Amino acid sequence: MTTRVLVAPTEVTSSLIGAKTTNSLDASSTGSLPFLRLPHPRTGIPSLFLANDNAPSTSKQDASQHQLLEVQAISPDVNRSWFLSDDTVVQDGKLLVLTPIDPIFLLVPLLEPVSSTAQFRPLDDIFEEATEKVNATLSELSVPDCPPISAEDVSSFARLSSVRSAVERICEKKDLTEDLSVHRFSKAKFLEVVKVKTDRIADPSAFDSFSSLTRSLAKDGLFTEKCALNSALQKAGRQRVACDILSQYLSPSLSEELIQLYNFDELNQHLEAMKQEDAALAAAQAVKANEETSGKQKQKSTATKKGKAKNQPSRGVTQLTKANVEGMAKLSSFFTKKAK
């Protein structure tokens, strides 16, 4: 049996081990939760998600947050292992992280391709056609070693109570009879829900509690004394960061439509001004570096010329080399012994 190190919400780990607390590791009570391969809302490439429809919750909102989780594997840069408290060693150093995800993001790549007909249809028919269209799109992407999405996985996903609840939030609905309802995906309703999430992230009470988010504002120069007096500019900065976060689970076209719901004109002007200032500073530094390099080369050239000048013979020596010394005695002859 392969052991993995996993980080997940308490409710999920309790369901995984079939106990009320994560400290109970009774293998006989271990539950089995289905892993589903579904298209990622941003890329369309199949990704792994965990369905936990039996997660304990105190409200419908809690249930929707903990019934579906994204599975992510964080791989170390080098080979590593885990040393556990029971003196066992897990050779695989990957860290599996299970994070709750709102089902509306996973519904969009399934519902949007079949919404072009603009017809109200039963959900079962919608999901059946959605599987075919998603796999057709996947084949066009030519992703290596990527089997098609299973109709069984899509069906299991559609049966989750949290998914049924999410459908009501982003689809238009008509009740034909007491037992039969038809739905149609509404992009406007979906963007409205996503905008509420964006505003919630951008709220200072939530935003300022994450240092990674506030650092992004500092990087954009929104923590300067000048920007501190412009609350609207800082608000736009927080909204843009929130849009970027949620865009990780939106297609490029939907991400652009989300951004269009906000007015980022002043923020864009500020960022463009910062970009120009950075470019001017970089140009000034390049000019200064060139001047310093040119100055050093000039000093080196001058020193070389002076060195060459020192090595050149004087005018008197040059004239002596040109004198006619024929018939003259050599200097060495004055230092020889005279013949007796």
Indicate the pLDDT class of residue 111, thresholds 50, 70 and 90.
Answer: very high
Question: Strand runs (DSSP E) across the chain, as ranges?
Answer: 5-7, 35-39, 46-51, 68-74, 82-83, 89-90, 95-100, 171-175, 181-185
Query: What's the residue count for the chain?
Result: 340
Provide CB contacts within 8 A for 221, sequence distance 6+: 227, 270, 274
User: Are the C-beta atoms of 233 and 266 separated by less than 8 Å?
Assistant: yes
Check: CB of residue 57 under 8 Å from CB of residue 11: yes
Cβ neighbours of residue 9 under 8 Å, at least 6 residues apart?
66, 69, 98, 100
Would you place residue 183 in the very low, low, confident or very high pLDDT band (cuts 50, 70, 90)? Answer: very high
Q: From the CB of residue 238, how many other CB atoms can be counted at a distance below 10 Å?
A: 23
In tens, the pLDDT along 130-155 reads: 999 898 888 887 778 888 899 999 99
Distance of CA 204 to CAs 4, 93, 194, 201, 241, Å?
37, 37, 18, 8, 12
The pair of three-digit structure tokens given for residue 59, joined into one six-digit string: 């409200």
**How high does pLDDT run on average in the chain?**
81
β-bridge partners, 72? 97
Is the pLDDT reported for residue 329 higher than 90? no
Strand-pair partners of 226 = none
> Residue 106 corresponds to which tokens in the numbers above?
């996973």
**For the segment 31-82, what is each residue's pLDDT rounded down to a tens digit?**
467 889 999 999 999 999 998 765 554 444 444 444 789 999 988 888 889 8
DSSP-based three-state secondary structure for 192: helix
What local confidence, expressed as pLDDT, does residue 291 receive? 75
> To 10 degrees, what angle do helices 103-111 and 161-170 make?
70
